[in-house]
Amino acid sequence: MARSFVSLALAAAVAAASTASMAAAADTEYPSFGNIVRKDSRLDKIVPKDARMEQLAEGFDWSEGPVWVKEGGYLLFSDIPLNSVMKWKEGEGVSLFMKPSGYTGVVDYSPEPGSNGLNLDSEGRLIFCEHGDRRVSRLEKDGGKKTLVDSYQGKRLNSPNDSAIKSNGDLYFTDPPYGLPQRYDDPRRELDFCGVYRLGKDGKLTLLTKDMTRPNGIAFSPDEKTLYVAQSDPADAIWMAFDVKPDGTLGEGRKFFDATAWVKEGKKGLPDGLKVDQHGNLFATGPGGVHIFDPDGTHLGTFETGQATGNCAWGDDGSTLYINADMYLVRIKLNTKGAGW
């Protein structure tokens, strides 16, 4: 996977982001970050008593969309405003992996032009949700990018945000307008709703629901019978749980958890990216940090980051949770593993 040339400005940003990470790598001890709040005894089986969040790197504009690459043992994540994908590897720190990542135009476009959610398909190919180019794309083995989908019924997508891949190869993704220059009021919008879609392995695009105001993070339960979708609407900050029908479409949806009160309390962030562990527990970024929920909806605890926290991903052997918290990259080692590991 080839890297593009780095601008001087980006090079300076990469150097700044690398400083803490490289220094920590040299010392083999990363500084602690944030706090762990335990609200239910069930959390003790998930989070070791001596667990702590570790700050791996800092200095990003807005870090998002992490994915662990098993072949190579490193983390990739987006820095959306810098239109870049960054790479972090133990002992090496941060480096630029790709630029541009989500917008290939030649003029300034929006404050958030780059890629957002990253994923890997069954062949290990990198999947991008691209804000600026308003598409879902795939990095081919020869280094070229292929557009998987950029429109629905002849109308351009808003700005794909995050994705989840079902075991049969179908790709589910959300499409709020955060990447558009004027977001909801942008004259470039061609769809008057924010959809949740399924892109089948046969290439067919299906609108699953258009009833969510700001669909964002998305993840399956371990048995793939439930699809969780975050809604990053400050007036209705919720996580939804949808029944997945045998044909892959969505059935009845229910409100899994409502965090609107946390927003009103002034906690930073909104329901955003989320992941699920092998037991069905949700690790959902939202107001205040990363919240851990039992599959029954009980709030077990929170990794308080003190930052607007965008997303998280399983890494290493599947028992480490990597977290993008605004300008920081953080991790925490747990007693559980991600679904599918």
What is the domain-level CATH number for residue 181? 2.120.10.30
Position 121 scores a pLDDT of 97
Quote the pLDDT of residue 25.
Answer: 46
The average pLDDT across 208-237 equals 98
Residue 13 pLDDT more than 70? no
Hey, what's the torsion of the CAs at 111, 94, 87, 330, to 10 degrees?
-80
The answer to the question of residue 230 being in a domain is: yes
Of 13-27, 216-230, 286-300, the least confident: 13-27
- Asked whether residue 338 is assigned to any structural domain, the reply reads no
pLDDT digits 0-9 by tens, 165-185:
999 999 999 999 999 999 989
Cα(314)–Cα(334) distance, integer angstroms: 10
Parent domain of 30: 8-333
- Which pLDDT band, with edges at 50, 70 and 90, does 28 fall under? low
Amino acid at residue number 326: D
> Looking at the predicted structure, is the pLDDT value of residue 9 above 90?
no
| 194 assigned to some structural domain | yes
Does 1 reside within a domain? no
In single-letter form, the type of residue at position 47 comes to V
Burial class from Cβ neighbours inside 10 Å (0-12, 13-18, 19+) for residue 221 reads middle
Residue 72 has pLDDT above 60, yes or no: yes
**Global pTM value:** 0.92
pLDDT value for 3: 35
Judge contact between 60 and 328, C-beta under 8 A.
Answer: yes
Q: So what's the pLDDT on residue 14?
A: 53
Q: What is the pLDDT of residue 233?
A: 97
Residues 6+ apart with CB under 8 A from 37: 301, 302, 303, 304
- Reply yes or no on whether the pLDDT at 108 is more than 60: yes
What is the tally of structural domains in the chain? 1
What is the percentage of the chain residues whose pLDDT exceeds 90?
90
Does 2 fall in a domain?
A: no
pLDDT at res. 274 = 98
Backbone CA torsion sign across 109, 192, 272, 319: negative
Residue 76 lies in a domain: yes
Residue in 228, 196, 200, 230 with CA at minimum distance from that of residue 211: 196
| 251 domain residue, yes or no | yes
Q: What is the mean pLDDT of residues 46-68?
A: 98
Q: Which helix (H) or strand (E) holds 262?
A: helix 260-264
The H-or-E segment that residue 280 falls in is none
The predicted structure's pLDDT at residue 143: 87
Average pLDDT over residues 237-249: 98
Average pLDDT over residues 212-233: 98
Q: What does pLDDT average to over the chain?
A: 93
Q: Does residue 217 lie in a domain region?
A: yes
- What gap in Å lies between CA 326 and CA 337, rounded to an integer? 24
